Amino acid sequence: MSIEPVDSCDLLCLDLPHAERIRASLPQPVQIEPAAQAARALGDPTRLTIATALHTGDALCVCDLAWVVGQAQNLVSHHLRQLKTAGLVSSRRQGRLVMYSLTERGRDLVAAVALLSSATAAEADHV
């Protein structure tokens, strides 16, 4: 049985001025929580697929989204509510339809995640 090496310093050394500058620049937990909630919202593959479809399709109703992502309407509605609660999706009534679209924050986050996944896929292709 092999023991994995621990990723820590063998010597306690602290560049206190540098570490303190970084520590002072970090957002407060109350500021971090909304970002963590938004990241968690996109952590589900179905929600990320729905958000990506909205990024591509701009504004879609639940019926169209359900067909696009290949899921039941009630499941898509459930995930849209979670995305809306996280501030990533907004809705508006258009006659008898409810149209969903990404908020600016949602668009930015989906674009960043998509960019990250594209870079990861490109790296895997080169290996």
At 21-44, the pLDDT tens digits run: 999 999 999 989 888 888 899 999
pLDDT above 70 for 88:
yes
Identify whether the C-beta of residue 66 lies closer than 8 Å to the C-beta of residue 76: yes
Task: Enumerate the H helices of the chain as residue ranges.
Answer: 16-25, 29-41, 45-57, 62-69, 73-85, 104-126
pLDDT above 60 for 121:
no
**Residue 14: what pLDDT?**
81
pLDDT above 70 for 110:
yes
What is the token pair recorded at 46? 């179905």
- Distance between CA atoms of 96 and 110, rounded to whole angstroms? 28
**Residue 124: what pLDDT?**
56
Tell me how long the chain is: 127
What's the sign of the alpha-carbon dihedral 43, 92, 112, 105?
Answer: negative
Domains along the chain? 40-126 (1.10.10.10)
Contacts 24+ apart (CB under 8 A), 77-84: 79/44, 79/46, 79/47, 79/50, 80/50, 82/41, 82/44, 82/47, 83/41, 83/47, 83/50, 83/51
pLDDT digits (tens, 9 = 90+) for 32-83: 988 888 889 999 999 999 999 999 988 999 999 999 999 999 999 999 999 9
What is the token pair recorded at 111? 């674009």
How much is the pTM? 0.74
- Amino acid of residue 63: C
